[in-house]
Structure 1
Amino acid sequence: MSTNKLTIVPVKLDPIPVEISSNHSLQYTAEPSCVIKTAVAEISFFNGVDERIIQTIMKELKG
């Protein structure tokens, strides 16, 4: 079990705009919506990432 103390910072993920048609691939800026920095890694989330991926990563960081 890890002895490193985790700091949880509240973030707001922006929803995918409704105006984007399904014919266009989702293109986002190079700026991440959220960045998590740990002693051994830096994890970036971008708009449009599936919520299940975020939940999985957070569970792995906790354990």
Structure 2
Amino acid sequence: MPQQKLTIVPVTLHTENNNSSSSVPAELSSKPACMIKTAAAEIAFFNGVEEHVIQAIMRELKHW
């Protein structure tokens, strides 16, 4: 099986500030905040994605 060089990038997840009185949506952009590319998939995260979604995707990537 060929060895594939992997790049590990540190990521910090911050909790959402729920103390604000108004609900302001995250800035929408067509440019992803983070891209993950594997041999089988490309995953893009955009600003405003919820932390539990990121965690679920990262858990699933361990099986690829």
Normalised by the length of structure 1, the TM-score is 0.64
Q: Moved runs in structure 1, 4+ residues, more than 3 A?
A: 4-7, 11-16, 24-27
CA distance in structure 2 between the aligned counterparts of 1:11 and 1:39, rounded to whole angstroms: 21
Normalised by the length of structure 2, the TM-score is 0.63
CA distance in structure 2 between the aligned counterparts of 1:40 and 1:11, rounded to whole angstroms: 22
Instruction: Tell which structure's C-alpha radius of gyration is larger.
Output: 2
The verdict on how the C-alpha distance between 1:61 and 1:42 changes in structure 2, with shifts beyond 3 A counting, is same
Relative contact order, CA 8 A, sep 6+: which one is greater?
Answer: 1
Calculate the aligned-residue CA RMSD, in Å.
2.8
Aligned length: 56
The verdict on how the C-alpha distance between 1:14 and 1:46 changes in structure 2, with shifts beyond 3 A counting, is farther
> For the Cα contact (< 8 Å) 1:32–1:45, is it kept in 2?
yes
Identity of aligned residues (%): 58
Residue segments in structure 2 that go unaligned for 5+ positions in a row: 17-21
Residue segments in structure 1 that go unaligned for 5+ positions in a row: none
